[in-house]
């Protein structure tokens, strides 16, 4: 009974894009930054939208050049990590020791391979390490029959990255005035009020995890996510952005599934880990009605999850992309359509999203907010749209 939950729900029908030309490629991209426990201030809205647009454009340029889904999500996420306005890569939150430790993961829907890093210091773009881990797993076993790692953390992850040609970057070059809350290392006994920079803009900005979902011209999906984690987190803490099934998920359609799905999450890492929200949302997307399926997943698997029964403020956000290929009888037999549905939902006060298709000249951006009076952590917003793209089947 959906009415039994304390929810504020709204949806918007975005303009459908119908492409009737015989295109030889199709792809769709969606990216987001999501406040894990606050909101995107109006004064920063322009900056958030701008970085989303740049990331979308970078990924679409890569796809137009012949790149596939994994390359596109990596390119977009690197752009987001390099921005001082997001809590990922450069500009990440500092932990209690005054250091930057990042989490990131990436998943390929075609192979189902996955790569992740946790509590990683000294690397500018954590997603590059996750991507390289994924690539190395596809090469097969190591010497002496060892299985290559798909998830590395801490100093070991940094050493592995450097040994595989990814350059080191000291913390001081990744720290920006936008996110630096103190000049000195912190201790657990320091009073929070004396450490945090005052003002809503700093407190809201520090919580933005970033993620990307994409489908390429071959219909493959991929997803990736990156985060600097909570401000003043304990050294060594690993958030949802690195955990399997929690930060991102991507899975091409197979015999038992009609839809290909890609999901990326943001919010309170511990809440997202305990509910494995990325995988739960992906599973839900096999239902006929995507909007209703995501709504029920956010309600039943997140807000009212038995794994979060003791929590009165459940904070999270997801972007979801699902697609299927189908023929169109009224058109030439060599033409198929890729139906792409894209949705986002959040229980936080806001989430900034950007999206772009192959036919768009520029990305569209939107800051989704809970309506006035809605209670963050107890209510949710859900929006989305549909894009139909044509392709030559050969």
Give 318-346 pLDDT, tens digit per residue.
999 999 876 544 444 444 667 889 999 99
The rounded distance, in Å, linking the Cα atoms of 161 and 156 is: 9
Exactly one of 86, 209, 283, 347 is catalytic; name it: 209
208 belongs to a structural domain? yes
117 belongs to a structural domain? no
Weakest-pLDDT range from 85-89, 110-114, 163-167, 193-197? 193-197
Look at strands 208-215 and 28-35 and give their pairing: antiparallel
Weakest-pLDDT range from 4-8, 66-70, 76-80, 282-286? 4-8
377 belongs to a structural domain? yes
Q: Is 304 exposed, middle or buried (0-12, 13-18, 19+ CB in 10 A)?
A: middle
333 belongs to a structural domain? yes
CATH number where 369 lies: 3.60.20.30
pTM to 2 decimal places: 0.85
Confidence class for position 40, pLDDT limits 50, 70, 90: low
8 belongs to a structural domain? yes
166 belongs to a structural domain? no
> Integer distance in angstroms from the first to the last C-alpha of the chain?
46
51 belongs to a structural domain? yes
Active site residue 209: yes
How many domains in the chain? Answer: 1
CB atoms within 10 A of CB 326: 11
33 belongs to a structural domain? yes
Domain residues for the domain of 383 are 2-89+200-392
More confident residue, 166 or 195: 166
What are the tokens at 142?
A: 């190591």
pLDDT at 331: 47
């Amino acid at each position: 009974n959906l009415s039994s939950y304390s929810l504020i729900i709204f949806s918007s029908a975005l303009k459908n894009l119908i492409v009737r030309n015989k295109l030889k490629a199709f792809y769709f991209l969606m990216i987001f930054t999501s406040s894990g426990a606050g909101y995107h201030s109006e004064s920063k809205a322009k900056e958030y939208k701008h970085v989303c647009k740049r990331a979308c454009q970078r990924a679409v340029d890569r796809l137009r050049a012949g790149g596939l889904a994994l390359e596109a999500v990596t390119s977009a996420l690197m752009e987001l990590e390099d921005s001082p306005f997001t809590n990922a890569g450069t500009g990440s939150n500092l932990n209690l020791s005054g250091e930057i430790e990042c989490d990131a993961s990436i998943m390929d829907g075609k192979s189902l391979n996955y790569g992740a890093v946790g509590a990683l210091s000294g690397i500018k773009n954590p997603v590059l390490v996750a991507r390289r881990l994924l690539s190395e797993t596809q090469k097969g076993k190591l010497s002496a029959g060892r299985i290559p790692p798909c998830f590395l953390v801490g100093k070991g992850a940094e050493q592995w990255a450097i040994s595989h040609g990814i350059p080191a970057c000291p913390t001081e070059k990744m720290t920006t005035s936008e996110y630096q809350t103190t000049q000195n290392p912190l201790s657990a006994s320091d009073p929070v009020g004396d450490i945090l920079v005052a003002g809503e803009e700093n407190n809201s900005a520090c919580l933005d995890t970033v993620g990307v979902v994409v489908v390429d011209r071959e219909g493959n999906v991929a997803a990736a996510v990156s985060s600097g984690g909570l401000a003043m987190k304990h050294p060594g803490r690993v958030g949802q952005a690195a955990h399997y099934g929690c930060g991102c998920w991507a899975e091409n359609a197979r015999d038992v599934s009609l839809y290909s799905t890609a999901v990326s999450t943001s919010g309170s890492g511990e809440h997202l880990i305990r509910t494995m929200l990325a995988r739960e949302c992906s599973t839900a997307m096999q239902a006929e009605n995507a909007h209703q399926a995501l709504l029920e997943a956010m309600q039943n698997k997140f807000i009212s999850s038995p794994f979060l029964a003791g929590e009165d403020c459940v904070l999270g956000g997801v972007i979801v992309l699902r697609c299927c290929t189908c023929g169109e009888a009224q058109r030439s037999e060599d033409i198929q359509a890729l139906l792409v549905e894209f949705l986002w939902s959040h229980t936080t006060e806001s989430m900034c999203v950007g999206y772009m298709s192959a036919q768009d000249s520029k990305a569209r951006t939107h800051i989704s907010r809970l309506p006035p009076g809605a209670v963050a952590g107890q209510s949710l917003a859900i929006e989305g749209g549909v894009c139909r793209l044509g392709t030559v089947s050969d």
